[in-house]
Amino acid sequence: MDVKRIIESLLFVSRGPLTLERIKSILHDTDRTVINMEIRSLVEDYKNRNGGFYIAEVAGGYQFRTHPDCKQWVTLLNQPSPLRISRAALETLSIIAYKQPLIRSDIEYIRGVDSGGVIRNLLDLKLIRVLGRKDIPGRPLIYSTSKYFLELFGLNDIKDLPTLNEIEDLVKKQEEPSQGLSGDQEKP
């Protein structure tokens, strides 16, 4: 039986990203490099086909996802349960993503406001997790982003996020060409 076909069928029925390890555990006689090669080839196939869905490489695994272009029609089929992430939550989340591992006071130092509520909210959403406690007075909790964070934002690894400097340029270009603020300090 063709390994590629088997992998494709596994991806089709799987819920959530399917990792190479998981596929290997099913196709134990097949070499890891062969599996990897076949996945890559599948990813390319779907990319070249440019259809309504593609294979997303997220959180260290592979998953069929609908193409973002088709969002407006797909959501007519059925309203997705609303995904509400407030501006404050997104801000806090980006601080955690870029400064992790960190404790609550690190977040509050940057934001300048009490962030306990937002952190609890992010924990409830499972977007962040507790890594442990820091060995300083009060033994505060240490936070980091979760695997679900990667899934939600379609990232394979936290390292896939662009650096803060890169982002500043990106955001500046796309949204505030006329503002004289931000970023001037970085210019050589």
Please, what sign has the CA dihedral across residues 36, 37, 39, 44? positive
Element (H, E) at 114: none
Please tell me the distance from the alpha carbon of residue 187 to that of residue 169, in angstroms, as a whole number: 11
**Using rule CB under 8 A, residue 6 touches other proteins:** no
Q: Which of residues 15-74 bind other proteins (CB under 8 A)?
A: 15-16, 56, 58, 63-68, 71, 74
**Considering only residues 4, 24, 30, 98, which one is a binding residue for other proteins as defined by CB under 8 A?**
98
Please give the span between the terminal C-alpha atoms of the chain, in angstroms, as a whole number. 59
**Considering only residues 26, 34, 90, 130, which one is a binding residue for other proteins as defined by CB under 8 A?**
90
- Cα of 172 vs its chain's centroid, Å: 22
**Considering only residues 33, 80, 124, 138, which one is a binding residue for other proteins as defined by CB under 8 A?**
80
Instruction: Report the residue number, 32 or 120, with the smaller CB distance to other proteins.
Output: 120
User: How many chain residues touch other proteins (CB under 8 A)?
Assistant: 55
User: What is the nearest approach in angstroms of other proteins to the Cβ of residue 84?
Assistant: 10
Instruction: Report the residue number, 130 or 171, with the smaller CB distance to other proteins.
Output: 171
**Which is nearest to 59 in space by CA: 151, 176, 129, 175?**
151
183, 168 Cβ separation under 8 angstroms = yes
Per-residue x/- track, 112-151, other proteins (CB under 8 A): xxx------------------------------------x
**Using rule CB under 8 A, residue 3 touches other proteins:** no
Which residues, in sequence order, are bridge partners of residue 144? 129
**Considering only residues 33, 77, 137, 138, which one is a binding residue for other proteins as defined by CB under 8 A?**
77
Radius of gyration of the chain (CA): 20
Residues 6+ apart with CB under 8 A from 35: 3, 7, 20, 23, 24, 27
161, 98 Cβ separation under 8 angstroms = yes
> What residues make contact with other proteins under the rule CB under 8 A?
12, 15-16, 56, 58, 63-68, 71, 74-75, 77-81, 83, 85, 87-88, 90-91, 93-95, 97-98, 109-114, 151-154, 162, 164-165, 167-168, 170-172, 175, 179-182, 184-185
